[in-house]
Structure 1
Amino acid sequence: MKRYISTFKDKGSIEQDGGKGHNLKILTQSGFNVPEGIVLHADFYKEYYGKPMEFHYADTEVLKKQCEEMRNIVKEKELPSELMDEISYHINSDFLYAVRSSSTFEDLEGSAFAGQHETYLNVSVYDLEEKVKECFASLWNMHAVIYRKERGFSQDEASMAVVIQKMVPSESAGVAFSVDPIHGVFHRVLIESSFGLGENVVAGEGLTDTWVVDTKNNTIQENLAGVKGSLTKEQVLEISKLAKKIEKHYSSPQDIEWAIFEGEVYLLQSRPQTSIPAYFTRDESAERFPDPITPLTWDFVEEAFNISLEYSLSLMNIDLPTRPWFSKKDGYIYGNQTAVEMLAMKRPLKLQKIEDITHFNEKYFWAHDLAQQWKNDLSLYLVRMGELNYIPSEIDSLETFKHYFERLFTTANEYFKPNIAISMTQSFLVGTLFEALLCKCGNQLMAKSNLEKILSLAKIRTANINKELGNIKKRELNNPEFQLFLEKYGHRELTFDYYYPTWAEKPEVLMDLVIPNQSLQQHETNGVKVLMDLTSDESEDVSESLYRLVQLVILYTELDDEEHFQTTRVNLLARKSIGILGRKLKLTDPYDLFFLNKHELYEILNGNAVNEQDLIQRRKEFQQLYNTAPVWNYSEKEEEVIELKDGVLKGVPGSAGIVEGEVCIVKNVDDFKNVKEGSILVTRTTNPAWTTLFYSAKGLITESGGPLSHGAVTAREVGIPAVMSVRNCLTIIKDGDIVVVDGTKGIVKLKESSIL
């Protein structure tokens, strides 16, 4: 007879062992403390029982009878004696066993099938055959059949393996979610436990203890004891670490079952955690959208982002089940931080040792073609934008304008489609490069410093524009050189909202900026030296892969800035066209149309009347939004309190170095004129157009962004220390405060402040 049994130490697959069995093999072979066991393969079920009948889903009663008939067919058929002999060979009659269903469709990301099939505990050798058949039969539980149908799984392809695992005589047991399943917070682990078997917890029977662990500082946040403390504090923290370790192993949130016997924690099973609620924060959105955004701008921008996100994830073969991507509250945009955290886990190559880099090409299979395709598409985009650049001052009809607007945003959406893939790829590549640098030097601070030096090798468009501006000695409108500069770069935005003027419309913000000439030769020399050190003393395969990685990091750092520069060509045309429409409609302020949403705008273009008084009221309400700072975490979870300890604020390193100076708060372009040479700039964020300020500053603090943000890249280019993502810095730090910016450690020290 063909062998249908394998142990947890043998190789396998989901097709052979089902989801649960395959996971237990992976965990066992990865060194986790899993009770020993065997798997009865799914191909036995297929070969022995064959295909199911044709199900009639439209009639519930008929379907119910069909499922019952299928289960009876399975349970009534005796298992071959050879198979039972093989099972007996692997088990010991002195022990009890857990017999678990392991469907070939279960425990997959996005379809856990939790609770759809059967599990039996404390099974003796005498009852094994009966329970194995019960597990096989549970493939045809009615709710499992419906679940497969709803998710597009074929009933003919469904099969069942069975796990037979040695029971742990647990003193306490339960479950743990590596991500808070209630709020979607990734640094919170939720643990439920009870005395005895963990099935009491899974089934919701009896009293349980609930624990919440904050993994940022490894502390227990909540302890909702339902019984007499089924876990010690040490055990809670150990289970929390185990959950996070398994999460890291699978690169996805995990739902684990565990048991404790004689002080030792056993892992009983692990499956992907599904249905994680979206947790919205300003962590990602604040960099691009620091202020309230007008309704019309957001409708068009959100559409472009959603198209790009779906395309980009598909391109990289990444599935993120959580939607929507954005939320809006009081005019401020919040990003789905749950999706961001899950995406960060999907980085295709994680290095344990430097030799792992040889898998680089296969893991980043899309990176070369994406960059080349984007460059090819850019040419077509620029041609179409050139055609759209001609906006007649008198549009014959609203229908003509509607056609123009649709062309503009169709062109923009098509161009923007792969742009998020560029940003994601850059982030992934930089993460892999950092790990490579860490493998070489073994020191976090040195690896970060070396990463900065390599990133400085990128030729950034924004830096070149700033240098070009600095070389114009006479910045006046009657100077042809300045006029040419505005023709080339006048589409640069002062803020990403189409409502606000661009450089071309507000050139005065550029006229008084101090931009000294600076040599970047030293930056480049340092970067080349790091690259040479990185590839030295390695095999040819490793050196070639490392060199290719660095090349792509530099390329994608350049592309990330370039795609933003090209995207903002839309800003000028969107604002111009809305202005023309507003004047045609005889509005006092033609740009009040930005306070409509897209649907309302198209109603006007279809002939509906404009209510100007309503628009004026909307503008007033919009302006009031600036008076209240946004909460950072927009969710059911309470707002995180930012603690100031010993006058130190924590952020993220953006550009290395330490500097002390006087603070200058910059909230908008009207504050540009207040920036003194040698100031420490403190701002909510910096888009590329703001980076001209850096040349007269000696330090930077922002409320959002990270080491790959435009602000951090330019700070490194200019050579000033920068600390990014300092929460509530605009509230805590005041104009005129004396602070120390430590861009190496990512901290800000307040030396002289009104709050100290």
Structure 2
Amino acid sequence: MSNYIKKLKELNKDSLLEAGGKGANLGILINAGLPVPPGFVVTTSAYDAHLERSGLKERITKRLEKIKGQDINEILEASKDISSWIEEAQMPIEIQKELNIAFDSLYKKMGVGEKMSVSVRSSATAEDLPTASFAGQHETYLGIYGKENVIKHVKKCWASLWSSQAINYRISMNFEHLKVDLAVVVQAMIDSEAAGVMFTANPVNGKRDEILISAGYGLGEAVVSGLITPDSFVLSKKGDIKEKNLGSKEINIKLTKRGIVTEKVPDSKRKSYCLGSNELKQLTKLAELVEKHYGSPQDTEWALSEGKIYLLQARPITTMEAESEDFNILGSEDKIIYQGKKADFGLQSVMEHSAYPHTPLDFACFTHFYQGIYTSFSETGFKMPKEKNIPIERESGCVALSYQAPSISPAIIWKGPKSLINSLFKDTNILWQDFSREANEWIKRMDTAKKNTNDAEKLIKFIKQGMKEYENFVYKRFSLIGMPGGITEYKFNKLIKKAVGKEKFEEVKENLLRALPFRTALQNKEMIKIAQTAAINGKGSQAFEDAIDNFLKEYGDRPSIGAGRMISPSTWSEKPEMINEIIDALLCDTSILDSEESFKKQEEAYKVAKDLVKKGLKCDDYKKFTKVLEKIRNMVIIREESVFYLEKIAGCLHRMALKLGSLLVKKDYINDAEDVFFIFLEELNSVAEGKLNIEEKLNKRKKAFDKVYEAHEKGVHWLVATGSIPVFELKEKIKQDKNDASNSIKGSAASRGVYEGQVCIVRNPSEFKKLKKGDILVSPYTSPIWTPLFKVASAAVTEIGSPTSHAAIVAREYGIPAVVAIDNATSILKDGQRIRVDGTNGVITLL
């Protein structure tokens, strides 16, 4: 064979430039002894010769100069011109002769008694690379008979290098057009009974110990092109079936003597799986061999013919991240502290509201915080855990949580109703006013005490006292928001259903809870005003600085990260640059800077929903409804407002701890004021008295914390990173719904609506400016600092959360779809990937 034609078995890993990604891969697979149908490649030299002899290179270069940026119309016109030139030009005679010889050789090798059918597939030099996949952008032709037809379709493949999507993709990936060559693979066709795709690792949930298979009847084109809903199988690497879903498999693309035909699949076959245990066993073995050979997860195409599986293609899974780093920081003798066999109902709440890694002093705050919640729960009949949630230090310096959750007890039978009856005679508004007034007075008193104290031991006493009083505030807050909830919510739901019916219930209820002037919404309005000031006067102006100063007077105690229940995170007053990240995100599109626009839309939706209920209820029922509605709306406002006050209290404790840190620095007990957060509450007195040399412990704890935080930044929750949670023996949260296609992921519905768009991964505030108008915000969680992003995003997806989490509440307020509790969403999804967010059903779909 010459430079223009190469047999597949002559190719290897160094053949990319002459055979393209597909051709080189097939050569590798054949030489690895894998079951690949034989064939040959029309090399890139043939493509170059075709362009050179016909004088097309200069014409193409000049034609490309007319394209400006990624203007789709200009790209479409250029594509039509260049493609037609390539197809109309005569293939050089010497290439035709060598192609005919190769075809005859393949015919003899196959030993076919009748006319042989081949596939003619494009193989670009920039295709199937580890960092980019051009798969599907260039043409493939199946069921081609005869030498003349092969020549014709080779030219069609060359022309497909200039399809509009290929030109556009090269522009977006910064590939030079004329440096991307195209080879063509001509391969004997397998007349398959079934075929499809196999991922040797699961790209949906990122699990490398799973195999994902999609299969349909006939040729694999129906599966690869998305023409059918295939049967899907999730297997363990040992071949055990972990999950299988029956696809509809409506059509069958068959190979006939006339070429490719499409037929309907009979109902009897559609109701059966197209693969049995023997075929799945072969595919499992094939997955093992392919992945072992390449040393990385592969996206493969395969075909089944007469009981044998053939491998048609293998390429790297470009959506899989590199092997994840080892974030395990437990010692060899360390045991997991939290020993539950299944997840407690409170664990999701812990992960949602403690979304960032905790320092040793944070854990003290955490213990008091949850003790306050538990005291509130105990009054309604819950059984409190025997042991408190306490932090425990391991040899490595890693501090993890010994977490215990409350449980249901028989006492709930009499305590629950009693608590509910008592709540009916208490005025929530009055209690809330008392709570907010008391919180403000406490903060003022503690700030004064801090200011007037330069004695470290005295300040420690104030901090310990403050922690206990914080616990009491938490208790009051949860008692307050839990009081009228049950009965009021029941009445509310019942009256809405009576007015509009079950079908419209969710939508109407959601709209009735819009246009609420809760603290985070008001804060967001102020943020938008600051962005307006920046747009008009510039970020360096006095007007902008004044706007920031006024904002910080009201909201400066909010934490720069997370939900702010702990005391180590810096506040906005300490890190005002965090606000700049938000302003930059808002300035991406000045059309969103109308602070009243979205609120007006919410008000309209609220009024329409209220009118619908009014029309559906009698006069007396509507009077009852308006009273209940006022209570419910007030409850939401109080719930959000009380979070704001708990953050202010935590902010005060943060300032007290930093003052203590500065006093310990003056005594040379620690090197930095922030080191105080890495000292246990119980150790503070010994350190302040000079009885405990803490330096070595601090170094170990800070190094361990850095590793936990590194894991957190890459999407691993701190509870998991510290090894505090075992592998639960439960069904995976990420699972396929039986009626869903294999590219759907189930989470929890958080805000109604459906939106399709591009993913923008935002893991922390430093990435806020990545988000652009119309993007889908995908994040581990959200907290009040993230709220302005909901003005920019058109949908939201979070890894943790619930229908009552921050992301859900704010998404509903801004009327954008949201799905929460999608494990590992920031790892599964990629920036720029298109997905559909169905907030009504709690499903995201990869498009």
TM-score (norm 1): 0.55
- Unaligned stretches of 5+ in structure 1? 1-216, 218-274, 350-359, 752-756
Structure 1 residues 465-480: aligned runs within 5 Å: 465-472=523-530, 473-474=533-534, 479-480=545-546
| Alignment-derived partner of residue 668 in structure 1 | 764
Q: Deviations over 1:706-755 (max 9, x none)?
A: 2222222211222222112222322322333221111122211111xxxx
Q: How far does residue 334 in structure 1 lie from its aligned partner after superposition?
A: 9.2
| Alignment-derived partner of residue 755 in structure 2 | 659
**CA distance in 2: counterparts of 1:340 and 1:447, whole angstroms:** 31
Q: How far does residue 289 in structure 1 lie from its aligned partner after superposition?
A: 1.1
| Alignment-derived partner of residue 604 in structure 1 | 687
Query: Using a 3 Å threshold, how does the CA distance of structure 1 residues 348 and 491 change in structure 2: closer, same or farther?
Result: same
| Alignment-derived partner of residue 664 in structure 2 | 585
Where 2:781 maps in the other structure, the secondary structure is coil
**Structure 1 contact 721–742 (Cα < 8 Å) conserved:** yes
Q: What is the identity, as a one-letter code, of the residue corresponding to 2:787? A: T
Q: What is the identity, as a one-letter code, of the residue corresponding to 1:513? A: A
Which of 374, 381, 384 aligns to 1:318? It is: 381
- Unaligned stretches of 5+ in structure 2? 1-243, 245-339, 393-397, 587-591
Query: Using a 3 Å threshold, how does the CA distance of structure 1 residues 333 and 672 change in structure 2: closer, same or farther?
Result: farther
Determine if the alignment matches structure 1 residue 491 to structure 2 residue 557. Answer: yes
**Structure 1 contact 699–721 (Cα < 8 Å) conserved:** yes
| Alignment-derived partner of residue 630 in structure 2 | 551
Where 1:305 maps in the other structure, the secondary structure is helix
391-400 or 401-410: which moved more?
Answer: 391-400
Determine if the alignment matches structure 1 residue 687 to structure 2 residue 783. Answer: yes
| Alignment-derived partner of residue 774 in structure 2 | 678
Q: Deviations over 1:408-439 (max 9, x none)?
A: 33443333221122443476344653344334
**CA distance in 2: counterparts of 1:280 and 1:325, whole angstroms:** 17
Q: How far does residue 452 in structure 1 lie from its aligned partner after superposition?
A: 0.7
**Structure 1 contact 688–711 (Cα < 8 Å) conserved:** no
**CA distance in 2: counterparts of 1:294 and 1:462, whole angstroms:** 27
Query: Using a 3 Å threshold, how does the CA distance of structure 1 residues 303 and 343 change in structure 2: closer, same or farther?
Result: farther
Structure 1 residues 179-194: aligned runs within 5 Å: none
Which of 291, 309, 325 aligns to 2:356? It is: 291
Q: Percent identity?
A: 23
Q: What is the identity, as a one-letter code, of the residue corresponding to 2:832? A: G
**Structure 1 contact 292–332 (Cα < 8 Å) conserved:** no
Q: How far does residue 572 in structure 1 lie from its aligned partner after superposition?
A: 2.6
**CA distance in 1: counterparts of 2:391 and 2:458, whole angstroms:** 32
Q: Deviations over 1:363-413 (max 9, x none)?
A: 583474244213113212202212323476794322221233245334433
Q: What is the identity, as a one-letter code, of the residue corresponding to 2:585? A: L
**Structure 2 contact 431–480 (Cα < 8 Å) conserved:** no
**Structure 1 contact 286–333 (Cα < 8 Å) conserved:** no
Determine if the alignment matches structure 1 residue 482 to structure 2 residue 548. Answer: yes
**Structure 1 contact 280–335 (Cα < 8 Å) conserved:** no
Q: How far does residue 513 in structure 1 lie from its aligned partner after superposition?
A: 3.4
Which of 623, 640, 647 aligns to 2:706? It is: 623
Where 1:591 maps in the other structure, the secondary structure is helix
**Structure 1 contact 663–682 (Cα < 8 Å) conserved:** yes
**Structure 1 contact 461–562 (Cα < 8 Å) conserved:** yes
Where 1:701 maps in the other structure, the secondary structure is strand
Where 1:526 maps in the other structure, the secondary structure is helix
**CA distance in 2: counterparts of 1:277 and 1:322, whole angstroms:** 16
Q: How far does residue 653 in structure 1 lie from its aligned partner after superposition?
A: 1.9
| Alignment-derived partner of residue 705 in structure 1 | 801
Which of 748, 753, 756 aligns to 2:844? It is: 748
Q: How far does residue 638 in structure 1 lie from its aligned partner after superposition?
A: 2.1
Where 2:830 maps in the other structure, the secondary structure is coil
Where 2:579 maps in the other structure, the secondary structure is helix
Determine if the alignment matches structure 1 residue 525 to structure 2 residue 594. Answer: no
**CA distance in 2: counterparts of 1:513 and 1:331, whole angstroms:** 35
Structure 1 residues 135-284: aligned runs within 5 Å: 279=344, 282-284=347-349
The count of residues paired between Structure 1 and Structure 2 equals 465
**CA distance in 2: counterparts of 1:466 and 1:654, whole angstroms:** 20
Structure 1 residues 734-745: aligned runs within 5 Å: 734-745=830-841
Q: Deviations over 1:16-50 (max 9, x none)?
A: xxxxxxxxxxxxxxxxxxxxxxxxxxxxxxxxxxx
**CA distance in 1: counterparts of 2:448 and 2:385, whole angstroms:** 41
Where 1:581 maps in the other structure, the secondary structure is helix
Q: How far does residue 550 in structure 1 lie from its aligned partner after superposition?
A: 1.5
| Alignment-derived partner of residue 649 in structure 1 | 745
Query: Using a 3 Å threshold, how does the CA distance of structure 1 residues 476 and 654 change in structure 2: closer, same or farther?
Result: farther
| Alignment-derived partner of residue 443 in structure 2 | 385
CA RMSD of aligned residues (A): 3.8
**CA distance in 2: counterparts of 1:544 and 1:583, whole angstroms:** 59
| Alignment-derived partner of residue 573 in structure 1 | 652
**CA distance in 2: counterparts of 1:697 and 1:551, whole angstroms:** 30
Determine if the alignment matches structure 1 residue 405 to structure 2 residue 463. Answer: yes
**Structure 1 contact 322–338 (Cα < 8 Å) conserved:** yes
**Structure 1 contact 583–590 (Cα < 8 Å) conserved:** yes
Structure 1 residues 75-94: aligned runs within 5 Å: none
**CA distance in 2: counterparts of 1:674 and 1:396, whole angstroms:** 44
Determine if the alignment matches structure 1 residue 300 to structure 2 residue 360. Answer: no
Q: How far does residue 491 in structure 1 lie from its aligned partner after superposition?
A: 0.6
**CA distance in 2: counterparts of 1:738 and 1:336, whole angstroms:** 41
**Structure 2 contact 755–817 (Cα < 8 Å) conserved:** yes
Query: Using a 3 Å threshold, how does the CA distance of structure 1 residues 442 and 544 change in structure 2: closer, same or farther?
Result: same
Q: How far does residue 575 in structure 1 lie from its aligned partner after superposition?
A: 2.4
| Alignment-derived partner of residue 510 in structure 1 | 579
Determine if the alignment matches structure 1 residue 613 to structure 2 residue 696. Answer: yes
Query: Using a 3 Å threshold, how does the CA distance of structure 1 residues 713 and 381 change in structure 2: closer, same or farther?
Result: same
**CA distance in 2: counterparts of 1:431 and 1:539, whole angstroms:** 19
**Structure 2 contact 817–838 (Cα < 8 Å) conserved:** yes
**Structure 1 contact 295–595 (Cα < 8 Å) conserved:** yes
Query: Using a 3 Å threshold, how does the CA distance of structure 1 residues 471 and 342 change in structure 2: closer, same or farther?
Result: farther
Where 1:660 maps in the other structure, the secondary structure is strand
Query: Using a 3 Å threshold, how does the CA distance of structure 1 residues 704 and 341 change in structure 2: closer, same or farther?
Result: farther
| Alignment-derived partner of residue 513 in structure 2 | 455
Q: What is the identity, as a one-letter code, of the residue corresponding to 2:433? A: K
**Structure 2 contact 782–807 (Cα < 8 Å) conserved:** yes
**CA distance in 2: counterparts of 1:705 and 1:439, whole angstroms:** 30
Where 2:757 maps in the other structure, the secondary structure is strand
| Alignment-derived partner of residue 638 in structure 1 | 729
Determine if the alignment matches structure 1 residue 464 to structure 2 residue 522. Answer: yes
| Alignment-derived partner of residue 220 in structure 2 | none
TM-score (norm 2): 0.50
Where 2:773 maps in the other structure, the secondary structure is coil
Query: Using a 3 Å threshold, how does the CA distance of structure 1 residues 481 and 403 change in structure 2: closer, same or farther?
Result: same
Where 2:788 maps in the other structure, the secondary structure is helix
Q: What is the identity, as a one-letter code, of the residue corresponding to 1:502? A: T
Query: Using a 3 Å threshold, how does the CA distance of structure 1 residues 750 and 333 change in structure 2: closer, same or farther?
Result: farther
Q: Deviations over 1:533-574 (max 9, x none)?
A: 435565666444433322211011000100001111123322
